[in-house]
């Protein structure tokens, strides 16, 4: 009797955890595609690139300017600033 309970627990617990992680992953992916969200934001992160495990570069559009920032454990630093150019 006890072994059947443990067997069910071993099978169902990872299944439920996997379903929760899958739902959170899908929500995060689909949240950015919801209509009405993009027009309200003044800042748009166009692209990010991992340089090293603790350092990342990000391209950010803000009020007609395109900013290249370095994001690391020490904080955020402006690397370069230019006019935003829309490329289709």
Q: What percent of the chain has a predicted confidence (pLDDT) above 70? A: 89
Q: Averaged over 59-69, what is the pLDDT?
A: 92
Query: Tokens 């899908």 appear where?
Result: 26
CA atoms of 33 and 42, how far apart (whole Å):
17
Q: Averaged over 71-88, what is the pLDDT?
A: 84
CA atoms of 83 and 62, how far apart (whole Å):
10
Identify the helix (H) or strand (E) that includes residue 76: strand 75-83
Query: Average pLDDT over the chain, rounded to whole?
Result: 87
pLDDT of residue 4: 87
pLDDT of residue 5: 87
In this structure, the number of other CB atoms found within 10 A of the CB of residue 67 comes to 19
pTM above 0.75, yes or no: no
Q: Which residue has the higher pLDDT, 37 or 20?
A: 20
């Amino acid at each position: 009797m006890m072994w059947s309970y443990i067997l069910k627990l071993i099978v169902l617990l990872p299944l439920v955890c996997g379903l929760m992680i899958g739902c959170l992953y899908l929500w995060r992916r689909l949240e950015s595609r919801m209509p009405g969200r993009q027009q309200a934001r003044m800042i748009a992160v166009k692209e990010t690139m991992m340089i090293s495990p603790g350092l990342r570069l990000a391209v950010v559009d803000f009020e007609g300017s395109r900013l290249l920032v370095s994001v690391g454990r020490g904080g955020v630093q402006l690397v370069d600033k230019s006019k935003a150019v829309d490329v289709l």
